[in-house]
Each structure stands twice: as structure tokens, then as C-alpha cells.
Amino acid sequence: MKPYREDSEAVRECADVLNYWPEDEGRPEGAGPLRYLAIRVRKRQGQLFADGSEVKHFAVTSSQWDWAAARLLDWQRDKAGTIEGLHHVLKNELGAGVMPCGRLGANAAWFRLAVMTHNVLTALKRLALPVAYSVI
């Protein structure tokens, strides 16, 4: 395990998990193997987490093999929470929160239209508005 982030409360370490390939079944042909990173978080000075544990473990799965583990984890952590904004816009502003009928195909088309509408609106904002107004 290599340290990748430290702060005043905890030490975070990460490592690539080798020889672990659960995706033998169901992976699209040519997709390549997934990369698994293990993360261990320890409190400083032997303190315990609120649940009484000394250590917490997490995992991240990625198809990105070119980056160092620390860079990949920092990128993944920076993205965290950004998808909720998109979900809000799709569900509450573009009508994707309520499907039009009980037919899967029609609902899938409805959702795709909402996503395409979001993409067009985002492109228009970025291309036509000043930077101050183009932030979602």
C-alpha cells in the first residue's frame, strides 16, 4: 500500500489489486480487463472511527490503466457528486423523472430525448453565453 492522501484526521493508502478478474463473464468483447484499486483509511494516533473500527476499506474500479493509482483516485474523487446535478436537471427540468407510459421502448426513447435535450442545451450555453452565465 502506498500513501496517496493525508490530512489531520486520517491516512489514506491505495494499491492495485492484482490477479482479481471477476468480469470473466459478461464483458463486451475487446473491452479489456478492469483495474481494481483498494483503498485503506486509517485514523491518526490510533483513534477509532465512529463505528468502532480501526480501518476502513474501499474499492474503485476503472478501465484507466495509464494513470498512477493516486492520480486516478484524485480524479475520481474530484468527480464525486457531479452526477447529482445532471440527475436533477434531467428529472426536474427536462421531464425524465416521470415516464410517459408503461412500455419500456417508449420510456427509453423518452429518456434518450431528455438526455439529448440536455446535451444540446449545454452546448448552446457553452457556445453562445458568456462564461459567467454558462455554468450549470
Of 79, 101, 119, at which residue does a domain stop?
A: 79
Of 79, 103, 120, at which residue does a domain stop?
A: 79
In this structure, the answer to whether residues 41 and 92 fall within a common structural domain is: no
Q: Which residue has the higher pLDDT, 32 or 53?
A: 53
pLDDT in tens, 2-46: 888 888 888 899 999 876 666 556 666 777 778 899 999 988 877
Strand order of the sheet with strand 35-43? 2-6, 10-16, 35-43, 55-62
| Confidence check: pLDDT of 134 > 70 | no
pLDDT in tens, 64-90: 889 999 899 888 888 776 788 888 999
The residue range of the domain holding 6 is: 2-79
Which residue, chain included where needed, has cell 481494481? 36
Which residue, chain included where needed, has cell 475520481? 76
Q: How many domains does the chain have?
A: 2
- In this prediction, residue 57 carries a pLDDT of 92
In this structure, the answer to whether residues 93 and 61 fall within a common structural domain is: no
In this structure, the answer to whether residues 86 and 51 fall within a common structural domain is: no
